[in-house]
Structure 1
Amino acid sequence: MKSNLKYILVVLFAIPILSCQEDFLERTPTDAISSADALASAENMQLVLNGIHRGLYSQSQTVFPGGNTARANNHYWVPMGDNLTGDLIHSANANNLSWRSVMQWNEHTQETSLTSSLLWYHRYNIILHANLLINEIESGSLTETARLRNILGQAYTYRAYAYLSLVQHYAKGYLIGNPSTDPGVPLLFSSESPFTSQPRSTVQEIYDQIESDLNSAITAFQDSEGPGVGGAAAKAQLSINAAYGLLARWALSKGDWQTAADAAVAAREGFPLLSEDEWKSGFNTNNLSEVIWGSNVIATETTFFRSYFYLASNTFNGSQIRNNPKIADRRLVDAIPETDYRKDVFLPDAPNTNTSAANGNGGFSNNTNPLYPTEEEFDAAVDSIKAVYGLVAGHNLHPYMQFKLKQANPGTIDPDDVIYMRSSEMYLIEAEAELMMDNLTDAKEALRPLAEARDSSWDSDDYPNAESFFDHLKFQWKLEMWGEGFGYTNHIRWDEGVDHAADGGSGASEVLYQQSYQIERPSLNDDWIFKIPQAEIDANPNLGSGDQN
């Protein structure tokens, strides 16, 4: 990592300054801040930390040289998880930002692609910044305070977050491989040049480091004091709840079921489930009661046509959405009970107005829906949907389109927050962990609060054995977390492939989806593993051609 990571430090102090407090900007020019200034106090360290926060959603070229405007980091990486597994389905042939190429598995399988390269460098950028804070604080050069403990807790949490992301994308899944021997990713602890790292550590070694970092984070957060911000900005700061949430994810992915269950319970404390109105409000703000952690996207730093909602929300006024409304798997939507209010955000009977639709059925001339026997009724339905959801004239509609993800100001390009962790996920993790420990009754009880909150007729007795309940739990995962990026890690953990043709079909077009229409399960198909950037292999003296996935 020697040659590539040295460039990341060039912007190490530029990022915090972009997000620092006004008084600090007045005292210190953006091109003159030194390492000593950045680490001189808890206040200045908070500026470095704020830079990591902003780096989660800024365009990648503002985070490190060699980045690209086509990727705004987590705006892209979050929905990518559902784009790869066909949960978020493309209805037409649009490839802005290579979003179609990702869907077709033509990005992460290429070692020179932007997707493979920028995800790698963004995560190591987080690690480098976290190392800077951890190494300085742990050196003991500053007096320990409650504020400093909070910064340390956030830094350890960030490092664990980045390593978990790296090992889950660039290595074989823990539960389907041989963690003690499978190659993971390089470990990096340095915060100073030349940034040399070890060769690829094993998956087990990376998982051990993640556990150590999260335990250190949880310890540091105890008796700590946050920066004192409120509202949506508060949840952009990492917390002990977020650390427990990451611990729950980590444990679930490796089969440490008891730790997963316990950590999930701790993570969701203080984050009550959403009401029906809140759940249907669009998932566009950290202010939702369930949100444990998310990026508070600031309007002046918006990414416009690089945002999460540009890629995934049918209300966004951008060509990726107008020409290619995103739909949900009709097998999932059709299975939602009428008593479950989550069904309301999917429109299976939306008219298909797109004459360029991949299924070739766009326009009234191809309409087969008996709800619209005349063109006037077809057009009236179109006008009604656009009025209800705030769409503009250029927005196309398609059967099974979704409105779970909605902008606060639909029909615009306004920015919205990016949610990373909700308490609903923690109920799902606890239920799955209990089931994996053969505790069917406890698994049902763990799921009950979430399931009953969403479906007024939910009855645990409908699932009399572990097999039927596991199928239902997978359904709950897919429905509750739709569009929030969990498809990729869920498929790997469950060792499930992708099959758009099975059980009547998902609604995806085989012509459009090509090789990704049917994909063998991860244990039998190494294409689930992202390619390491070729630039990293060329530059890192500890990696060679034999290290490529």
Structure 2
Amino acid sequence: MLRKINLLILGLLAVFVTGCSEDFLETTPTDSIAEADAFASVDNMFLVLNGLHRVMYAQNPISGGTSSRSGQSFYMPALDAMGGEMIHSAPGNGWMTSELRWLTHTNANFTTVNNFWYMRYHIIATSNNLINLIAANGYPEADADVRNILGQAYAYRAWAYHQLVSTFAKGYLIGTPATDPGVPLLLVTGAPFTSEGRATVQVVYDQINDDIAKSITYFNGASDPDNKSHLSINAAHGLKARIDLTQGNWKDAADAAIAARAGFPLLDESDWLSGFNTVDLSEVIWGGTVIDSETNYYQSFFYFISPTFNGSQNRSNPKLINKEVYDAIPSTDFRINMALPLAPNTNSSASNGEGGSYETDPNYDSSDEFWDAWEAIITKYGMTTGHNTHPYMAVKFLQKNPGTIDPDDVIYMRASEMYLIEAEAKAMQSDVTGAQAVLQVFGSSRDTAYDSSIYTTKDALMEHIKWQRRVELYGEGFSFHDHIRWDEGIDLTNSGADDNLYRDGFMQAKPSLNDAWIWKIPQDEIDANPNLTEADQN
């Protein structure tokens, strides 16, 4: 794509390529290799793919030399914070404060929009190379490894374009896809590195649908993925389920979700509460296997979201679950243990003004009671004595080695999401019985008293499914785009968020009435792309 990113990436592709042995677990990255060498053999193309796996989570100086928004490690928690599900308890050290206030994605000059855009176009440019140069070099498509590479490349390209068009264009179900401007669509490789104008939303989705269909086709007969960092046929089905759900292709979404979760059993209570810090969990379909020597450290996923990570973002700003969502969890549902509603508010800078001592925290009557409760939490979860606690703080994401800056894996797709996609798709088809059935399987795995039969209408089912997504997928990056798909605004009045901290992010009208949900195209792109002008800006 894009003159700027093509010149940067296609000429020096392997700046981001990491060579690995022992199933991608070697801890030392390879040196950079030239583009011609990167595509000179099937083995080298796997190294290119390994670079993409790393780009998904690691520090990526892709745009302007900055790594300050590091892949999904940043954008997953940011999107949940902007969507009102992951609540910040205090300004902390400033990270994501502008995102909470809906300032960054509405400003074309912010790093947030730049890195979101250019990271995904980097993935597209690299995928284009893999797809086109396999054909140009005459690699046999019947070869299992070649099919694996093509399956992953088409899936990556589908994922990247779906992320872009879902974020920089009007939602498919609330807009007019045939005429709404989407994002630039480019599928070619190499010189002259010319850019494109904005294709319509429908044209972009047509390409996404074609890419994910080809991905699934190539994965049939492909070699097995080395590990869960690699995209697989299950992950491709999962991406298809997401893509179909966004378009309202309900039956296809349900079918793809069923295929995606095959072989990935739901977590039991012990595993669900173990911290979501490893791709080895049975439900994980796709996730980043983080290599110790190549982690983000203070830009890692767990830095932004985990109460145990030893960073200033977490010590001073424990992340909360939306109070309204949490209070609806029944006592028979083990996910009630994902947050601590009575944790003492120890931070004197807490945004709700109730932090610092028992005298300001309404849940405690004495200093001893207040600090004993804090000490019990610190001890149980392995935090440091510098960590603050706060009512409704989430303890879903816990490090393997708490109280450190050690890296942990990043999870992109789980079987639970697929159950909830199937349930939503069936509910939207008014298949009440079908939605109840899939919800019963999912819900009873979480709640010993679960009974889906009480949800007897499409509307009741949808309200319950929305709540289930907010609980089950908390912190996994879905809420912002869920609001767009459901055409729901944001009102954090009873969430536990502070309106002075959140400002514009505290309340937003629904997306069909509010173009602030559509991200600004980076100004760098407007300036550099000869096929875009200020008139193309959102």
Matched to 2:56, the amino acid is L
Match of 1:202 in 2: 200
Match of 1:156 in 2: 154
Structure 1 position 50 matched with structure 2 position 42 = no
Match of residue 545, structure 1, among 525, 534, 537: 534
Tell me the distance in 2 between the aligned counterparts of 1:353 and 1:537: 46
1:19–1:54 CA contact under 8 A, matched in 2? no
Report the Cα offset of residue 364 of structure 1.
2.1
| Per-residue deviation, residues 487-525 of structure 1 (Å, max 9, x unmatched) | 011100000011011xxx111111111111111111111
**TM-score when normalising by structure 1:** 0.94
Match of 1:114 in 2: 111
Structure 1 position 264 matched with structure 2 position 257 = yes
Report the Cα offset of residue 368 of structure 1.
4.5
Match of 1:217 in 2: 215
Match of 1:373 in 2: 365
Q: How does 1:389-538 map to 2 (within 5 A)?
A: 389-501=381-493, 505-538=494-527
| Per-residue deviation, residues 291-317 of structure 1 (Å, max 9, x unmatched) | 000010100001100011111111111
Tell me the distance in 1 between the aligned counterparts of 2:459 and 2:30: 62
Structure 1 position 134 matched with structure 2 position 131 = yes
Match of 1:274 in 2: 267
Match of residue 169, structure 2, among 159, 168, 171: 171
| Per-residue deviation, residues 77-130 of structure 1 (Å, max 9, x unmatched) | 111220111111111112444x11111111111000000011000000000000
Matched to 1:129, the amino acid is T
Match of 1:351 in 2: 344
Tell me the distance in 1 between the aligned counterparts of 2:524 and 2:198: 15
Structure 1 position 330 matched with structure 2 position 323 = yes
1:190–1:196 CA contact under 8 A, matched in 2? no
Matched to 1:263, the amino acid is A
Tell me the distance in 1 between the aligned counterparts of 2:212 and 2:5: 27
Matched to 1:530, the amino acid is W
Any idea what SS the aligned residue of 1:373 has? coil
Any idea what SS the aligned residue of 1:543 has? coil
Matched to 1:539, the amino acid is A
Matched to 2:263, the amino acid is G
Matched to 1:528, the amino acid is W
Match of 1:89 in 2: 87
Tell me the distance in 1 between the aligned counterparts of 2:64 and 2:273: 39
| Per-residue deviation, residues 133-174 of structure 1 (Å, max 9, x unmatched) | 000123361233111110110000000000000001110100
Structure 1 position 362 matched with structure 2 position 359 = no
Tell me the distance in 2 between the aligned counterparts of 1:36 and 1:11: 10
1:95–1:101 CA contact under 8 A, matched in 2? no
1:8–1:65 CA contact under 8 A, matched in 2? no
Matched to 2:351, the amino acid is A
2:10–2:35 CA contact under 8 A, matched in 1? no
Any idea what SS the aligned residue of 1:410 has? coil
Moved more, 124-133 or 508-517: 508-517
1:294–1:418 CA contact under 8 A, matched in 2? yes
Matched to 2:7, the amino acid is K
Report the Cα offset of residue 52 of structure 1.
0.7
1:4–1:539 CA contact under 8 A, matched in 2? no
Structure 1 position 303 matched with structure 2 position 300 = no
Moved more, 445-454 or 118-127: 445-454
Matched to 2:512, the amino acid is S
Tell me the distance in 2 between the aligned counterparts of 1:94 and 1:368: 19
Tell me the distance in 2 between the aligned counterparts of 1:453 and 1:365: 38
Report the Cα offset of residue 41 of structure 1.
1.6
Any idea what SS the aligned residue of 2:384 has? coil
Report the Cα offset of residue 194 of structure 1.
2.5
Tell me the distance in 2 between the aligned counterparts of 1:495 and 1:467: 14
**Ranges in structure 1 where 5+ consecutive residues have no aligned partner:** none
Tell me the distance in 1 between the aligned counterparts of 2:329 and 2:183: 40
Match of 1:292 in 2: 285
Tell me the distance in 2 between the aligned counterparts of 1:126 and 1:190: 13
Any idea what SS the aligned residue of 1:60 has? coil
Any idea what SS the aligned residue of 2:199 has? strand
Match of 1:236 in 2: 229
Report the Cα offset of residue 226 of structure 1.
3.0
Any idea what SS the aligned residue of 2:298 has? coil
| Per-residue deviation, residues 433-470 of structure 1 (Å, max 9, x unmatched) | 00111101101112211100001101122222222221
Tell me the distance in 2 between the aligned counterparts of 1:363 and 1:20: 48
Match of 1:2 in 2: 3
Tell me the distance in 2 between the aligned counterparts of 1:11 and 1:51: 12
1:251–1:260 CA contact under 8 A, matched in 2? yes
What is the percent sequence identity of the aligned residues? Answer: 51
Count of aligned residue pairs for this structure pair: 531
Give me the CA root mean square deviation.
1.6
Quickly say closer, same or farther: Cα 1:20–1:193, change in 2 above 3 A: farther
Any idea what SS the aligned residue of 1:484 has? coil
1:134–1:152 CA contact under 8 A, matched in 2? yes
Any idea what SS the aligned residue of 1:293 has? strand
Tell me the distance in 2 between the aligned counterparts of 1:57 and 1:248: 22
Tell me the distance in 1 between the aligned counterparts of 2:191 and 2:99: 34
Match of residue 191, structure 1, among 178, 189, 192: 189
Matched to 1:48, the amino acid is V
Quickly say closer, same or farther: Cα 1:88–1:141, change in 2 above 3 A: same
Matched to 1:146, the amino acid is A
Tell me the distance in 2 between the aligned counterparts of 1:389 and 1:35: 46
Tell me the distance in 1 between the aligned counterparts of 2:482 and 2:520: 20
Tell me the distance in 1 between the aligned counterparts of 2:20 and 2:125: 19
Any idea what SS the aligned residue of 1:201 has? strand
Tell me the distance in 2 between the aligned counterparts of 1:96 and 1:43: 43
Match of 1:11 in 2: 12
Report the Cα offset of residue 14 of structure 1.
2.3
1:88–1:326 CA contact under 8 A, matched in 2? yes
Tell me the distance in 2 between the aligned counterparts of 1:420 and 1:272: 16
**TM-score when normalising by structure 2:** 0.96
Matched to 1:102, the amino acid is E
Report the Cα offset of residue 6 of structure 1.
1.5
Report the Cα offset of residue 34 of structure 1.
3.1
Any idea what SS the aligned residue of 1:366 has? coil
Tell me the distance in 2 between the aligned counterparts of 1:343 and 1:440: 27
Tell me the distance in 2 between the aligned counterparts of 1:127 and 1:172: 21
Any idea what SS the aligned residue of 2:445 has? helix
Tell me the distance in 1 between the aligned counterparts of 2:16 and 2:386: 37
Matched to 1:303, the amino acid is N
1:283–1:404 CA contact under 8 A, matched in 2? yes
Tell me the distance in 1 between the aligned counterparts of 2:236 and 2:201: 20
Tell me the distance in 2 between the aligned counterparts of 1:300 and 1:365: 42
